[in-house]
Structure 1
Amino acid sequence: MPLPLYLLAMAVFAMSTSEFMLAGLLPDIASDLDVTVGTAALLTSAFAVGMIIGALLMAALARTWPVRSSLLGFVLAFLAAHVVGASTSSFAVLVATRVVAALANAGFLAVALTTAGSLVPPDKKGRALAVLLSGTTLATIAGVPGGSVLGTLLGWRATFWAVALICLPAAIGILKGIPARPAQQDEPVGPALRSELAQLRRPRLILVMGLGALVNAATFGGFTFLAPVVTDTAGLGELWIPVVLMLFGVGSLVGVTAAGRLSDERPGLVVAAGGPLLLIGWPALAVLADEPVALLVLVFVQGALSFALGSTLITRVLYEAAGAPTMAGSYATAALNVGAALGPLIAAATLGTAVGDLGPLWASGLLVALALLVAVPVRAVIAARRQPDTT
């Protein structure tokens, strides 16, 4: 894979650390800013909503900009949002900084996904996506647990400052590693924007976007509320939270790596094999969460299955959006973050029920079940190996 892909993955690492780190920081943020844990979870949803809006908006604005300038600008805006977030004592301001950071993240990821696909042959998009998403999985392995430890020892603000610092080498890497290709005003950058947006009327594209959103909703719904499961249900100490998050991250790296090749050649196999296992895993985790060993094993397995299935479906979005070469990345980003927005909201609604802290795990299982109910009748669309007709 080309070196620029790994430089893009470095920036994705910084941004994904921020996106996922709240799973280990919500209780601390809630206590410091005098809100409930459920209210603090709005920070995750606010970030996801910003990503949804920003995915299409930023990609449309940046489609005629120089690639390197776009990527660098988005990273620097992301850095600035975290500096403000680390300094504020207002929950409302913190929510606002999460939206701004999400807009920057959305713009970056939309451009990066499209760029990644253009750096490899047309039939290698799945492998390119796996490299790019390795930044996300490494964030769950190292960045998020590290942030959780830092938050436990020094407070949640220290974690926000750390993310801002991580953005600096990412920005330098983009500046040095991504070639400058100034956009020529008299040369078309691809199909007209109206034509690219018209791709969203294609049922096949909407289908795979919806499936990707459902699986990601299950992932975020369960992952966001793992901290209270670890401390309250399993009875483990706070320092076990980063261990559990790291296990989920290691599993996600295994899953996205394994699915990297299969998502190009055998996407139907990934969904057919991984989907039912993922469905069984969330209820099993809820039932066995009070057994620490079972909890650790199942968290790893769910991380692997969630990212294997999710990355495969997002790869299908890129294939189905082949007729929108400058906007395809934004469609994939939007699909991911519709799920990331809805998942924590659905999961948070279960916290006040009889199942308590385990509610999010049951909700994740229901979301996967819904995805499979939709996927089974249209499995031929998911299993298609060739790049689809864009007409």
Structure 2
Amino acid sequence: MPLAVRILGLSVFALGTSEFMLSGLLPAVADDMNVSIPRAGLLISAFAIGMVVGAPLLAVATLRLPRRTTLIGLLAVFGLGQVAGALAPSYGVLFASRVVSALACAGFWAVGAAVAVAMVDAGVRARALAVMIGGLSVANVLGVPAGAFLGEHLGWRSAFWAVALATGIALIGVSTLVPRIPLPAERPRLRRELRIYRDRQVQFGIVLIALAAGGVFCAFSYLAPLLTDVAGLSDGWVPTVLALFGIGAIAGTTAGGRIADAHLFGVLLSGTAASTVILVLLALLGQVAAAAVGCSLLLGFSAFFTAPALNARLFNVASAAPTLAGATTTAAFNLGNTGGPWLGGTVIDAGLGYASPAWAGAGLTLTAIGAAGVSLRLHRRASASRVVAGADAGQPENQVRAPIR
């Protein structure tokens, strides 16, 4: 794997730490800014919405710009957003800094994924994307707890300064180690790029990502109250269990990235099915502490085992517009990351208890299995069409048959 791809993974570590670290800093932020904790929580929602909106917007805005220059610019803006957050004199300034950071983060994800794919052969796309996703997994295991530690001992602003420093290191790496990616000989045209959204395989790829991510984060977002109020664990166990989820995520990303290139649909179906089973077990056995902890570890593995295949599938079917494919993948994941927690909160507010988000999440992942099945059928039809077209053109059948994975 090229070193430049690993530098992109390091960059994602900084971005992911900033995205998720506020969950451990909300009380301190709320107290310092003199706002309620729910209002401080809007800072998390603002980042997620900025990711959904920013990915396609930034992809379109930078479509004709040099890729490395775009990455450098987006990282610089993101780093400045962290500095602005660290120095924010008011809630409004902090909110604005989060929106700006989210837009830059979304753009970097979209362009960075396209660059990672462009630097490797088609047969190892999933592994390259797994390296980027691995940066996010490490952010959950190391970056977020480190941010909480800094916030507790040096104040919440120190966490923003730390992310700004990590972003600076990533900026140096991207500037010196990521090669220039030549633009296509023919200048990209937005109207032609947007045609990918007419493709049913692209549409089902988006739905599959949103459902798979939404199902997992529907339950994960409310894991803390399930552990304390249902499983009966003390508050001190929560960081440990969240770290176990992250460890599972790293292992899942590594395994999924290695297998998905050869067995893409096998990873999609088995990983999503495993998440469904684990969520059902979490809902049924959540009152048993050992079962709740074990399910948390396994859920991290199954969710991120599937992630490289979800990314690679969308890049495969939208190969004519790789930057928009990266943007669409980012937006779809964040739709799930936003909609899943909303659904989990809705079932809790309905009085169904803290185990209910696991049931709701299982419903979403079960629906995702159906979407994966439809996607596989479309893939088989497209493969059969290529075989027929190649045979009509006089090519040997073994040269036109596409693998069904």
| Global fold match (TM > 0.5) | yes
Deviation at residue 81 of structure 1 after TM alignment: 1.6
Distance 1:362 1:198, change over 3 A: same
Distance 1:285 1:48, change over 3 A: same
- The reply on whether 1:291 has 2:303 as its aligned counterpart is no
Residue 272 of structure 1, aligned match among 266, 269, 272:
269
Distance 1:213 1:64, change over 3 A: same
Does the Cα contact within 8 Å between 1:144 and 1:245 map onto a contact in 2? no
AA paired with 2:131? V
Report the equivalent of 2:395: none
Residue 298 of structure 2, aligned match among 301, 311, 319:
301
- SS of match in other structure, 2:158: helix
- SS of match in other structure, 1:352: helix
Deviation at residue 251 of structure 1 after TM alignment: 0.6
Does the Cα contact within 8 Å between 1:221 and 1:347 map onto a contact in 2? yes
Report the equivalent of 1:179: 179
TM-score, with normalisation over the residues of structure 2? 0.86
Report the equivalent of 1:16: 16
Percent sequence identity is: 39
Matched pairs, number: 386
Deviation at residue 33 of structure 1 after TM alignment: 4.9
Deviation at residue 92 of structure 1 after TM alignment: 4.3
1:1-391 counterparts in 2 under 5 A? 1-30=1-30, 33=33, 39-88=39-88, 90-180=90-180, 188-189=186-187, 191-381=188-378
Does the Cα contact within 8 Å between 2:72 and 2:171 map onto a contact in 1? yes
- SS of match in other structure, 1:170: helix
Deviation at residue 290 of structure 1 after TM alignment: 3.8
Deviation at residue 274 of structure 1 after TM alignment: 2.2
C-alpha distance after superposition, 1:136-172 (max 9, x if no partner)? 1111121122223333444433322322221111111
- SS of match in other structure, 1:327: helix
Does the Cα contact within 8 Å between 2:269 and 2:369 map onto a contact in 1? no
| Alpha-carbon RMSD | 2.8
Distance in 2 between residues matched to 1:238 and 1:146, nearest whole Å: 18
Distance in 1 between residues matched to 2:34 and 2:346, nearest whole Å: 20
Distance 1:356 1:25, change over 3 A: farther
AA paired with 1:129? L
Distance 1:48 1:385, change over 3 A: farther
Distance 1:43 1:176, change over 3 A: same
Deviation at residue 367 of structure 1 after TM alignment: 1.7
- SS of match in other structure, 1:116: helix
Structure whose alpha-carbon radius of gyration is higher = 2
Distance in 1 between residues matched to 2:23 and 2:212, nearest whole Å: 18
Does the Cα contact within 8 Å between 1:256 and 1:311 map onto a contact in 2? yes
Deviation at residue 53 of structure 1 after TM alignment: 1.4
Deviation at residue 329 of structure 1 after TM alignment: 1.4
Does the Cα contact within 8 Å between 1:14 and 1:163 map onto a contact in 2? yes
Distance in 2 between residues matched to 1:286 and 1:25, nearest whole Å: 28
- SS of match in other structure, 1:65: coil
Distance 1:358 1:84, change over 3 A: farther
TM-score, with normalisation over the residues of structure 1? 0.88
Which is further off, 155-164 or 240-249? 155-164
Deviation at residue 128 of structure 1 after TM alignment: 1.0
Which is further off, 208-217 or 175-184? 175-184
Distance in 1 between residues matched to 2:370 and 2:92, nearest whole Å: 39
Distance in 2 between residues matched to 1:355 and 1:278, nearest whole Å: 21
C-alpha distance after superposition, 1:332-367 (max 9, x if no partner)? 212212212222222232342323444433332222
Which is further off, 192-201 or 280-289? 280-289
Distance in 2 between residues matched to 1:153 and 1:385, nearest whole Å: 57
Does the Cα contact within 8 Å between 2:269 and 2:372 map onto a contact in 1? no
C-alpha distance after superposition, 1:102-136 (max 9, x if no partner)? 11011111111100111111222111111121111
